[in-house]
Chain A
Amino acid sequence: MALIEARGLTKEFRIFRRREGVMGAFRDLFQRDYTTLRAVDGIDFVVAEGEMVGYIGANGAGKSTTIKMLTGILVPTAGSVNVNGFIPYKEREKYTRGIGVVFGQRSQLWWDIAVIESFKLLRRIYNVSQEEFKARLKKFDDILEFGSFLHLPVRKLSLGQRMRCDLTAALLHNPAILFLDEPTIGLDVLGKAKIREFLKEINSESKTTVILTTHDLGDIEALCPRVAIIDKGKMLYDGSVDNLYAQWGHDKMEDIVKKIYEGCKPEQYCMIENWGDTHA
């Protein structure tokens, strides 16, 4: 069984329209007027342990919705999802012990308290032993270098500093999977480089599976051997990056992705179809 196995994953939303005027508001009380939006439409997504997968798509394409279903926040309308041996939305409290999540736009840390205190609180919540906690902090500090602002509250940190702390927080409990939502957004060149170096390290050394949602194709180029592209709820491509280069040349990732959006379908080389051969 793969670490992440989602089949036919679908999510529909009901968008309620507000009727105009006083009479409209009155009628709204009894019967709402709505349209159904299919944000994610029958996606298959299978990820093996230790993979680093990039996940890209335009805004509103269904990226965040997929991730929210994989992390257990949302319940799918149809399809099956199994991550790390759990059905994410079913056993939320148990399941979330094994994952780490970083949102680029919003911090998981407590705003007003020193970063180290946030870490300590998280250590308690995730039941990490004191020794392991110290060891991991030190290891992360070596690459991310947050020692100098460990005692500052999050609200006083720059974006780059905050991101490094959020990454650490997400990995303190050695989760099997790390979900990242735009981790390099708004960072300068050096900041991005540091984050990418860190992600490469934990993926290769700790075998942490990483799902990386991003708009920055540079992230994909630097980190992900595999990329999944979603548009309007449907998966346009899910396979190796090398395959894309092989078919369309080692130009800019950007142009390749644009081509795919415009409808060109590359020949799929799905890594997972051959999974059985090497992992039997």
Chain B
Amino acid sequence: MSKQSGWRQDAANHIIIFFHYMAQYIKTKMAYRADFFIYAFSDLLQQSVNLIFILVIFTKVPAIKGWTRDQILFIYGFFLIPFGLYSGFLNHLFDVPEKYVLEGELDRVLLRPLNAWFQVVVETMNPELLIGTVTGIVIMVYSGNAMGLVPTWWDFPLTLVLVVGATMIYAGVYTFLASLGFWTEGNMGLMPMVYNLSNYGRYPMTIYRGPVRFILTWVLPFAFVGFYPAAILMHRYEYIGYALLTPIIGIISFAFSYWVWVIGIRRYRGTGS
């Protein structure tokens, strides 16, 4: 029986385990090769619908509220990057209320010497959906090119920071929703609603009216998973304030939600049966 001590070793331990789960996942999925590709392919199909929608609209109009086709595509491309990361790793947080809390799978998780949130994420990941991220990068590059966008040297680290920030927003929002499952018995059906709302971030905030825009910026900050970050990567620096808020909002969102999660677990162990 070996004992670990210190948070550094703890963190390192978790990272190593993450890669082992990944390796395990890939090994398993390779056994069902067809399913793996079909799942990824059908995700591509879904993205193609959104793409076709935009392309067809722009055969009829030259711009939407001043935004051209390539700009809208660029925003969509950026949107897909953190979205792919979310779909690949965090999508199944919505299993928590039903499967883990109600059906008690959380017991099994609590019996292992690893962080509970980490286990849930790592058990339910679908890394093949990272194809969304790849698609997003392709669309971004293509449309950036088409509009004659020349990236500066700081655009690259900036993109990384913005993507991480946006992904943390997803992590935060869905961890919070998953944690609600500790108080309500079973699903509330909130997640599909929030998911649909997240799609609003694919388009410029200028098309939304007051209260909706407010919600998307300060309540469920999906304005920051697509539009604002993409805007300054397009060098529309009038939005720089918002865009730089992205990582901060990401951190706040995830920190708050993780705190709610911890309280939720405490509740489960205090009153679970």
Does B235 reach chain A (CB closer than 8 Å)? no
Does B273 reach chain A (CB closer than 8 Å)? yes
* Cα distance A218–B115 in the bound complex, in angstroms: 38
Contacts A65-B273, A73-B110, A93-B115 hold; do A127 and B4 have CB atoms under 8 A apart? yes
Contacts A39-B273, A121-B24, A124-B17 hold; do A97 and B107 have CB atoms under 8 A apart? no
Task: Say whether B20 contacts A121, CB under 8 Å.
Answer: yes
What are 11 A-to-B residue pairs whose CB atoms are below 8 Å? Answer: A14-B271, A68-B107, A73-B269, A75-B269, A92-B113, A93-B113, A93-B115, A97-B1, A103-B107, A112-B28, A127-B2
Contacts A93-B113, A108-B111 hold; do A117 and B1 have CB atoms under 8 A apart? no
Does B60 reach chain A (CB closer than 8 Å)? no
* Cα distance A128–B10 in the bound complex, in angstroms: 15
Mask of B1-25 contacts with A, CB within 8 angstroms, 1/0: 1111000001001001100110010
Does B108 reach chain A (CB closer than 8 Å)? yes
Closest to A77 in B: B270
Does A126 reach chain B (CB closer than 8 Å)? yes
Q: Residues of A contacting B266 with CB < 8 Å?
A: 75
* Cα distance A125–B123 in the bound complex, in angstroms: 13
* Cα distance A71–B113 in the bound complex, in angstroms: 12
* Cα distance A175–B3 in the bound complex, in angstroms: 12
* Cα distance A22–B254 in the bound complex, in angstroms: 36
Does A98 reach chain B (CB closer than 8 Å)? yes
Does B33 reach chain A (CB closer than 8 Å)? no
A137, chain B: closest CB distance, angstroms? 17
Does B114 reach chain A (CB closer than 8 Å)? yes
Task: Say whether A93 contacts B114, CB under 8 Å.
Answer: yes
Given contacts A103-B108, A120-B20, could you give 4 more A-B pairs where the C-beta distance is less than 8 Å?
Answer: A13-B273, A93-B115, A94-B4, A125-B112
Task: Say whether A174 contacts B1, CB under 8 Å.
Answer: yes
Task: Say whether B273 contacts A124, CB under 8 Å.
Answer: no
* Cα distance A108–B108 in the bound complex, in angstroms: 7
Q: Residues of A contacting B108 with CB < 8 Å?
A: 103, 106, 108
B143, chain A: closest CB distance, angstroms? 39
Q: Residues of A contacting B3 with CB < 8 Å?
A: 94, 97
Task: Say whether A101 contacts B111, CB under 8 Å.
Answer: yes
* Cα distance A128–B4 in the bound complex, in angstroms: 12
Does B151 reach chain A (CB closer than 8 Å)? no
Residues from 98 to 144 in A contacting B, C-beta threshold 8 Å: 98-99, 101, 103, 106, 108, 110, 112-113, 117, 120-121, 124-128
What's the A-B contact tally at a CB cutoff of 8 Å? 77
Q: Residues of A contacting B2 with CB < 8 Å?
A: 97, 127-128
Does A55 reach chain B (CB closer than 8 Å)? no
B270, chain A: closest CB distance, angstroms? 5
A111, chain B: closest CB distance, angstroms? 10
Closest to A126 in B: B113
B261, chain A: closest CB distance, angstroms? 15
Does A89 reach chain B (CB closer than 8 Å)? yes
Task: Say whether A75 contacts B270, CB under 8 Å.
Answer: yes
Q: Residues of B contacting A212 with CB < 8 Å?
A: none
Does B62 reach chain A (CB closer than 8 Å)? no
Task: Say whether A117 contacts B113, CB under 8 Å.
Answer: no
Q: Residues of B contacting A173 with CB < 8 Å?
A: 1
Q: Residues of A contacting B17 with CB < 8 Å?
A: 124-125
Closest to B27 in A: A117
Q: Residues of B contacting A99 with CB < 8 Å?
A: 111
Contacts A92-B110, A127-B4 hold; do A117 and B24 have CB atoms under 8 A apart? yes
Closest to A65 in B: B273
Q: Residues of B contacting A39 with CB < 8 Å?
A: 273
* Cα distance A56–B108 in the bound complex, in angstroms: 22
Pick the contact of A124 from B4, B20, B269, B272 — CB < 8 Å? Answer: B20
Residues from 94 to 141 in B contacting A, C-beta threshold 8 Å: 104, 107-108, 110-115, 123
Task: Say whether A72 contacts B110, CB under 8 Å.
Answer: yes
Closest to A71 in B: B111
Q: 9 closest pairs, A vs B, by CB? A: A96-B113, A97-B113, A127-B2, A93-B113, A113-B28, A75-B269, A73-B110, A124-B20, A101-B111
Closest to B13 in A: A127
* Cα distance A39–B270 in the bound complex, in angstroms: 13
* Cα distance A72–B269 in the bound complex, in angstroms: 8
* Cα distance A247–B108 in the bound complex, in angstroms: 40
Pick the contact of B113 from A13, A120, A125 — CB < 8 Å? Answer: A125
Task: Say whether B114 contacts A125, CB under 8 Å.
Answer: yes
Q: Residues of A contacting B272 with CB < 8 Å?
A: 73-74
Does A241 reach chain B (CB closer than 8 Å)? no
Pick the contact of B107 from A13, A73, A127 — CB < 8 Å? Answer: A73
Q: Residues of B contacting A124 with CB < 8 Å?
A: 16-17, 20
Task: Say whether B271 contacts A96, CB under 8 Å.
Answer: no
* Cα distance A112–B111 in the bound complex, in angstroms: 20
Pick the contact of A96 from B20, B27, B112, B269 — CB < 8 Å? Answer: B112
* Cα distance A110–B21 in the bound complex, in angstroms: 11
* Cα distance A174–B2 in the bound complex, in angstroms: 10
